[in-house]
């Protein structure tokens, strides 16, 4: 059994194959956290001797014996206003002005299967090995109940958590903070690994020691954001990719979020995570409940790489619900950087006609196909075809593309509206904006109020009509501004703090309706690139446009940072034109292909502007990608060198049975008289022999050194030799050269 109850000691232990998670009741019936780490047995109470600490108050019942304090005890979930002065999970007030809650155990249950979080995405029980535990607690003063919900995925080494609040009292209760999880770690010297960024430079990995005090990772933008991803890792100071203790916490939510990490005066570490509390409040009338988003917890003692691979597998298997999660993806070409808004049907067909012979599978029509949409300023929300650009409508264009043997995809931005649009003129109150105040504008557009069910239903009808009336194979779902001037014309004053969360529930409702109605359509998420790259979106989108920055050098940091938590199969990654439209940099065509193959592959360029040699390169790239796609997407992913810490970046994918591997190396900056490129490979069978099936060099301006390469094609090496001794390659010459090496077990 993955959930073990010790009734005599009032202890509950959650076991996965490699980990154990334990809690029990203290002397006064409050639930405390005991342990999360490598799998073990026994009761862990010996780790927590009762000790009195000055200026840490004791519970009332223990005021004379002392030594059991809410300020030093490890909590499964914090109360509020009870003498625990550390960062907490909850703020609440009832109609009598009583602030906070002190939760005491009332019961629990153990169930088979996974639990649902109403209105929000969450993990499902793909393999039938999940168990759920619900621990129930109650505050006597307000009647507020707290249900702590745990999902135990034994074979996946994953524990999920969420919380439910139920107003079992007789008066309204207002929540102003309601986080999903508290994880207390009593001992250890930890560093924080988090993922910051900005538009066109998302999810840069940053690692720092934990100091005494509170570190906050948050977004109050109404989206998980380009700036701070809702995923953090605590790793031991000595932890590397290959060894050391690591804890991961990933929020399954796409709106405003907050994570606080505190190191307290005793050196204990607390992590709390959940919905962002900036502008948040939720009114609970008697009998009503509120559910928090799910958090996916993972622990390993085998390093950051092992933690990553645990999340990669779980997200693909237990979060993604699309049939495309494990299916081959089409290689696409998007017209955006080729035409922007300046296109017509013939120009789109011309792009498709030139792309099809190169092996490209799908043409994607981006922004500008609808309404009077010729720039950023007009027509968002008017989801009818612009017949001036597309005479005969989408049907005729799609038929022309399909006749070439290509699939057809389309861009939409359903959550937004232009002031200059038929929709906004008809329903000005459907936009989120403060009455009597000019709103801040992003991309000269406003956000539709998805906290209103009628707005969600209208957009659902528009998308349903679009996808029912046209043979569309793929949808790119964009969201190009964050939410400011938060106000809903449909909610009373006391509920305006609910707008942002209700908006997110509306987005999930829309996604649920549309993606379930059209299961054969491949949906790709986008939010100005990677502004909503999170586990909540992955429930509906098996791939997400990783960043609007398509520069191959910039993408090294973006993609490898993203890979710490998210699978490479989810990362939309394309070869684009040079000089690059975001940075002006020129990178060799081959290197652009190597970088883009670390994801869901495609192109952002105009093939009419390519030379014959570049078209030949595309043919080769597409052929290699299709040959290796299952290895890249389904294989185990290893980061060998991060670009921030070296002159070159390197990564590899290894089939789960260790029969095949693909190694990629990119050197963004070539220096004079450098040592050879040296790598220790990973994930291979140490007792097997591997043959170098291919060794390709791209963008290198001097080829002679490779006549003497230490890695000739056809050579055989022991797996142990490649992993423990390593492999050295001749230095590269030129601007951003790269290598791809394919290994096959003999």
Active site residues: 534, 614
Helix (H) or strand (E) holding 545: strand 543-545
231-234-238-239 Cα dihedral, nearest 10 degrees: -40
CA separation for the pair 17, 2 (Å, rounded): 9
Which DSSP symbol is given to 101?
Answer: B
Q: ∠ at Cα 26 (22, 31), nearest 5°? A: 55
Tally of CB atoms within 10 A around 196: 17
CA distances 628 to 26, 149, 312, 662, Å, are 54, 40, 18, 8
The token duo for 293 is 């988003």
How many other C-beta atoms are found inside a 10 Å radius of the C-beta of residue 655? Answer: 17
Spatial contact of 360 and 349, defined as CB atoms under 8 Å apart: no
Candidates 451, 458, 509; CA nearest to 483 is 451
How many whole angstroms separate alpha carbon 502 and alpha carbon 456?
Answer: 11
Q: Extract the tokens encoding 458.
A: 């209208």
| Centroid of chain to Cα 442 | 23
Q: Which residues pair with 677 in a beta bridge?
A: 729
Three-state DSSP class for residue 574: strand
Query: What are the Cα distances from residue 477, in Å, to 66, 129, 267, 331?
Result: 57, 33, 45, 18
**CA-CA distance, 569 to 741, in Å (whole number)?**
20
Distance CA 478, CA 496 (A): 26
CA distance 185 to 170: 37
Distances 71 to 29, 270, 273, 645 between C-alpha atoms, Å:
16, 12, 19, 40
Separation between Cα atoms, residue 459 and residue 447, nearest integer Å: 13
**Which DSSP state fits 435?**
T
Neighbours of 624 (CB within 10 A): 19
CA–CA separation, 314 and 156 (whole Å): 7
Q: Determine the Cα–Cα distance for residues 175 and 139; give it in Å rounded to an integer.
A: 14
Strands (E), 585-688: 600-604, 636-641, 649-654, 660-666, 677-679
> How much of the chain is in helix, strand and coil states, percent to nearest 5?
25, 35, 45
Where does residue 394 rank: exposed (0-12), middle (13-18), buried (19+ CB within 10 A)?
buried
Residue 727: strand pairing partners: 679
């Amino acid at each position: 059994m993955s959930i073990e109850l010790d009734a005599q000691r009032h202890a509950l232990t959650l076991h996965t194959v490699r980990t154990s998670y334990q809690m029990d009741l203290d002397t006064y019936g409050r639930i405390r956290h005991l342990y999360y780490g490598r799998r073990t047995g026994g009761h862990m109470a010996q780790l927590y001797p009762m000790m009195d600490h000055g200026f840490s108050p004791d519970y009332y019942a223990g005021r004379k014996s002392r030594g059991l304090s809410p300020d030093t005890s490890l909590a499964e979930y914090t109360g509020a206003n009870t003498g625990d002065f550390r960062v907490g999970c909850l703020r609440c007030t009832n109609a009598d002005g009583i602030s906070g809650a002190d939760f005491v155990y009332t019961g629990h249950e153990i169930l088979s299967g996974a639990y649902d979080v109403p209105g929000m995405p969450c993990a499902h029980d793909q393999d039938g090995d999940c168990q759920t535990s619900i621990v129930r607690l109650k505050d006597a003063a307000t009647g507020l109940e707290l249900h702590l919900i745990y999902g135990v995925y034994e074979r996946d080494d994953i524990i999920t958590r969420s919380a439910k609040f139920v107003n079992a009292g007789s008066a309204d209760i207002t929540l102003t903070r309601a986080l999903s999880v508290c994880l207390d770690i009593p001992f250890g010297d930890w560093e924080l690994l988090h993922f910051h960024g900005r538009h066109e430079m998302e999810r840069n990995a940053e690692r720092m020691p934990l100091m005494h005090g509170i570190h906050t990772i948050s977004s109050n933008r109404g989206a998980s954001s380009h700036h701070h991803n809702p995923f953090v890792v605590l790793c031991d100071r000595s932890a590397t990719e290959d060894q050391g203790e690591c804890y991961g916490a990933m929020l399954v939510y796409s709106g405003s979020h907050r994570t606080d990490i505190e190191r307290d005066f005793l050196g204990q570490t607390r992590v709390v995570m959940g919905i962002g509390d900036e502008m948040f409040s939720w009114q609970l009338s008697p009998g009503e409940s509120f559910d928090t988003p799910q958090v996916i917890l993972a622990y390993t003692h085998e390093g950051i790489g092992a933690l990553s691979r645990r999340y990669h597998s779980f997200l693909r298997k237990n979060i993604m619900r699309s049939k495309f999660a494990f299916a081959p993806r089409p290689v696409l070409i998007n017209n955006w950087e080729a035409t922007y808004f300046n296109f017509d049907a013939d120009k789109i067909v011309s792009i498709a006609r030139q792309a099809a012979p190169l092996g490209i599978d799908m043409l994607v029509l981006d922004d500008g196909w609808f309404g009077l949409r010729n720039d950023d300023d007009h027509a968002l929300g008017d989801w009818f075809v612009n017949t001036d650009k597309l005479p005969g409508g989408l049907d005729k264009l799609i038929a022309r593309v399909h006749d070439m043997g290509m699939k057809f995809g389309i861009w939409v931005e359903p959550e937004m509206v232009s002031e200059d649009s038929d929709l906004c003129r008809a329903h000005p109150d459907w936009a989120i904006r403060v009455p009597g105040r000019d709103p801040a504008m992003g991309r000269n557009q406003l956000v539709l109020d998805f906290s209103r069910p009628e707005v969600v239903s209208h957009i659902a009808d528009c998308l349903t009509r679009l996808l029912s009336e046209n043979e569309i194979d793929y949808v790119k779902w964009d969201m190009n501004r964050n939410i400011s001037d938060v106000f809903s014309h449909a909610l009373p004053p006391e509920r305006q703090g609910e707008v942002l969360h209700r908006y997110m529930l509306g987005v999930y409702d829309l996604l649920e309706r549309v993606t379930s109605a059209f299961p054969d359509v491949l949906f790709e998420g986008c939010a100005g690139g990677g502004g909503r790259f999170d586990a909540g979106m992955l429930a509906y989108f098996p791939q997400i446009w990783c960043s609007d920055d398509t520069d191959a050098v910039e993408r090294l940091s973006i993609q490898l940072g993203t890979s710490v938590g998210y699978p490479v199969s989810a990362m939309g990654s394309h070869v684009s034109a040079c000089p690059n439209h975001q940075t002006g940099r020129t990178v060799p065509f081959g290197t652009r292909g190597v970088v883009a193959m670390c994801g869901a592959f495609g192109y952002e360029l105009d093939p009419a502007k390519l030379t014959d040699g570049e078209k030949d390169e595309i043919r080769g790239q597409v052929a290699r990608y299709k040959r290796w796609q299952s290895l890249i997407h389904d294989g185990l992913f290893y980061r060998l060198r991060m670009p921030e810490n070296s002159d070159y970046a390197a990564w590899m994918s290894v089939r789960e049975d260790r029969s095949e591997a693909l190694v990629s190396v990119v050197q963004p900056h070539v220096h004079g008289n450098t040592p050879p490129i040296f790598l220790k490979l990973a994930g291979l069978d140490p007792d097997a022999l591997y043959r170098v099936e291919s060794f390709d060099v791209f963008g290198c301006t001097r080829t002679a050194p490779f006549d003497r390469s230490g890695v000739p094609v056809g050579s055989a090496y022991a797996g142990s030799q490649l992993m423990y001794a390593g492999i050295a390659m001749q230095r590269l010459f030129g601007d951003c050269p790269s290598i791809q090496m394919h290994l096959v077990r003999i």
